[in-house]
Amino acid sequence: MPAEQLTVQDLSESELLARIFPRLNHSPGVLLGPGDDAALIAAPDGRTLISIDTQTQDQDFRLDWNNGYQTSGYDVGWKAAAQNLSDINAMGGSATSLVVSLTMPPVTPVEWVEAFADGLTAAIIALGAPDCSVAGGDLGRGRELAVTVAVVGTLDGLAPVLRSGAKPGDTIAVAGTLGRAAAGWALLESDIRMDSLSSELRGLVESQCRPVPPLAAGPAAARVGATAMLDISDGLLRDASRLAGASDVVLDFDPVALKVHALPLEPAAARLGVDAMPWVLGGGEDHGLLATFPAGIQLPQGFTAIGSVQAVVEPPGSGVRIAGQAADTVGWDHFAD
Amino acid sequence: MPAEQLTVQDLSESELLARIFPRLNHSPGVLLGPGDDAALIAAPDGRTLISIDTQTQDQDFRLDWNNGYQTSGYDVGWKAAAQNLSDINAMGGSATSLVVSLTMPPVTPVEWVEAFADGLTAAIIALGAPDCSVAGGDLGRGRELAVTVAVVGTLDGLAPVLRSGAKPGDTIAVAGTLGRAAAGWALLESDIRMDSLSSELRGLVESQCRPVPPLAAGPAAARVGATAMLDISDGLLRDASRLAGASDVVLDFDPVALKVHALPLEPAAARLGVDAMPWVLGGGEDHGLLATFPAGIQLPQGFTAIGSVQAVVEPPGSGVRIAGQAADTVGWDHFAD
């Protein structure tokens, strides 16, 4: 019989915080960290970006997946950080701090919470945001696990890159991967046991549980004059439709370029007996970037061209085309907004 | 039979947002509001305060109280704003924006969400923070209602007032009410039906459901040189113990000054057959301020003296005394940390 596991109800809030704080990194932009009623963060250019995002158990992640994988605290911490860092990246900014609210059932193991803190820190470092740290937070009880992160960031004097600036003639480009997290989700939900997966297919599961948004790409895009940008969080076509609507343009994707993204997903698709392309077009949790650039400029490192922006000449529908055909007439209408 | 009530599952996210946005106020410090991946907020002195706070159904509020009162969306919105504005107030700052994440069961009435947005806006205006507005947010599903607000604010060039600066000889003062929200909670949990309460006692319930933190008092305290300050969110003695520990001092409260706060609660205490003083000492949700000031200075408007700071001369225990007696020897030890 294993030793009784320590759970959060066995500790006071200050005891639990004492286990969390040493696991967090520290950055000089946090002028005043945890311990007072609010933290104080440097905002060197006199402005601060802010975004907020919640992940709730059984809505945004499962603790126990069909294929036997168990989501760890580390996974949840990593993903919470990654999602939020991506929102700042998508504006062309760099994150300076996170504040984290963690709501937990009283029976949550203390080890889970420690792994959660480790996952937050690991993501911040591994994704390339070491100047960002956790500046504060809130712990509370609930019937289900829920994590809310608010992130603040700096544009370092640049203008924010909005969704609304794409112009006809612009080049459409993406940074980061497309469809890997969706393929990972399909594997997690399948009957193929986790321990029977190849390391390549396990990598897809990792993309779902610990996504790797391309954090250098956002500020690089802003510096070269990207005209519009967003984080692909709900799927390429759906997010493209939002950008098209905000910019009043049509985004026309190149099927050959799309195919390049589907190719590495073929082994997983074959294993599951499905088509890889819907993952590329509909999967969002890789947290790549979709951006538009003036035609002819050299795309910043990490971006590859994937289509072109066109003027609206007829009722635009979703505003998204593939090789000139409305995306919702080529079989993927359930991905359109 | 009443008409079928519209619930959030009947609307798309963008339809729901379209019902929320017109109910929010706008402020010039929000340079870029909802609609992109992050909002952009002015931080005029090159720093930004930030705090985060979650309220979860059945943990932080009940939807249906024992006395028949039903918590409205308006109440939850008001309280979420008030709690967070208070955290900025407690640092000596002024809030410039909120980002709000709302997690809801799919059967939540759309009307509830609209009332929630109205409550956020009403609190911002009524509490005296019209330069603050909701800059962004996140909507999601969960099994229980949960609201997380992150608030950012400015110190307007002042130093933040920490918990750790109290010095022996300082005057202890409070701003705002003490014990009203706790008395309201006791009424809500009692068998005395809501509709049989006098307007005075209903006012106590309102203090619980729609607290009124003294928002002008925090920056005023910072301007005159308050040495330490915090938001009384968990009860006077408990929060005083935190300030005492952070400052390495003892806080000695004047029982006569405490009695002044208990007096207006006597009618409710008599109705319930209890003592009012525990509400004053242990009730936190009024979100008043506890601050220390150098002796002899004129307290800013809204503050009244309630004791004095003393040096630690023996093992300090909770660090809190009443008329020189350790607070945990005068019958309120369950309020100490």
Is there a contact between A40 and B91 if contact means CB atoms under 8 Å apart? Answer: yes
Per-window interface: B 45-64 vs A, CB < 8 A: 46-54, 56, 58-60
Longest dimension (CA), chain A: 71
Task: Please say if the pLDDT value at position B316 is more than 80.
Answer: no
Mean pLDDT of B205-230: 97
Task: Please say if the pLDDT value at position B98 is more than 80.
Answer: yes
Q: How far is A136 from chain B (nearest CA, A)?
A: 7
* Paired sense of beta strands B146-154 and B171-175, if any: unpaired
C-alpha–C-alpha distance, residues A246 and B17, integer Å: 15
Per-window interface: A 4-23 vs B, CB < 8 A: 14
Residue reference for tokens 């967070």: B84
Q: Are B230 and B176 in contact (CB under 8 A)?
A: no
Predicted ipTM of the assembly:
0.93
Is there a contact between A58 and B143 if contact means CB atoms under 8 Å apart? Answer: yes
Q: Are B40 and A49 in contact (CB under 8 A)?
A: yes
Is there a contact between B36 and A97 if contact means CB atoms under 8 Å apart? Answer: no
Mean pLDDT of B237-249: 95
**Residuewise pLDDT in 10s, chain A (337 residues):** 456 799 999 999 889 999 999 999 999 999 999 999 999 999 999 999 999 999 999 988 899 999 999 999 999 999 999 999 999 999 999 999 999 999 999 999 999 999 999 999 999 999 999 899 999 999 999 999 999 999 999 999 999 999 999 999 999 999 999 999 999 999 999 999 999 999 999 999 999 999 999 999 999 999 999 999 999 999 999 999 999 999 999 999 999 999 999 999 999 999 999 999 999 999 989 999 999 999 999 999 999 999 999 999 887 678 999 999 988 644 343 333 3
Is there a contact between A90 and B37 if contact means CB atoms under 8 Å apart? Answer: yes
* Amino acid at site A292: T
When pLDDT is cut at 50, 70 and 90, the band that residue B318 belongs to is confident
Residue A241: the pLDDT is 94
Is there a contact between B150 and A150 if contact means CB atoms under 8 Å apart? Answer: yes
- Residue B20 has which token pair? 């929320």
Q: Which of B80, B100, B87, B85 is nearest to B132 (CA)?
A: B85
How far is the CA of A270 from the CAs of A259, A276, B286, in angstroms? 15, 8, 61
Q: Which of B275, B180, B191 is nearest to B235 (CA)?
A: B180
Burial class of residue A313 in the structure, from the number of CB atoms within 10 Å of its CB (0-12 exposed, 13-18 middle, 19+ buried): exposed
Q: How far is A141 from chain B (nearest CA, A)?
A: 7
Q: What is the mean pLDDT of chain B?
A: 93
Mean pLDDT of B273-283: 95
Residue B15: the pLDDT is 93
Q: Which DSSP string corresponds to A85-110?
A: HHHHHTTT-EEEEEEEEEEE-TT-BH
Name chain A contacts of B243, Cβ cutoff 8 Å: none
Mean pLDDT of B18-44: 95
- Residue B133 has which token pair? 């507005």
Per-window interface: B 219-258 vs A, CB < 8 A: 230-231, 246
C-alpha–C-alpha distance, residues A198 and A168, integer Å: 44
In chain A the beta strands, taken as DSSP E runs, fall at: 30-32, 39-42, 47-56, 94-104, 133-141, 146-154, 171-175, 228-232, 250-253, 288-293, 303-310, 320-322, 325-326
Residue of chain B whose alpha carbon sits nearest to that of A14: B337
Burial class of residue B34 in the structure, from the number of CB atoms within 10 Å of its CB (0-12 exposed, 13-18 middle, 19+ buried): middle
Residue in B50, B58, B135 closest to A136 by CB: B50
- Residue B202 has which token pair? 């209903």
Residue in B47, B59, B146 closest to A42 by CB: B47
Residue A231 sits at φ, ψ, to 5 deg, of -85, 130
Chain B CB within 8 Å of residue A157 CB: no
* Paired sense of beta strands B30-32 and A320-322, if any: unpaired
Task: List the single best residue of B55, B86, B148, B233 to mutate versus A (max A Cβ within 10 A).
Answer: B148
> What single DSSP character describes residue B34?
B
Q: Are B262 and B278 in contact (CB under 8 A)?
A: no
C-alpha–C-alpha distance, residues B173 and B251, integer Å: 11
Coil vs helix vs strand at A163: coil
* Domains of chain B, start order: 8-154 (3.30.1330.10), 171-335 (3.90.650.10)
Quick one: which H or E segment has residue B32?
Answer: strand B30-32
Mean pLDDT of B175-200: 96
Residue in A41, A88, A146 closest to B142 by CB: A146
Q: How far is A39 from chain B (nearest CA, A)?
A: 5
Residue of chain A whose alpha carbon sits nearest to that of B87: A37
- Residue B270 has which token pair? 């008599």
User: Bridge partners of A250?
Assistant: A310
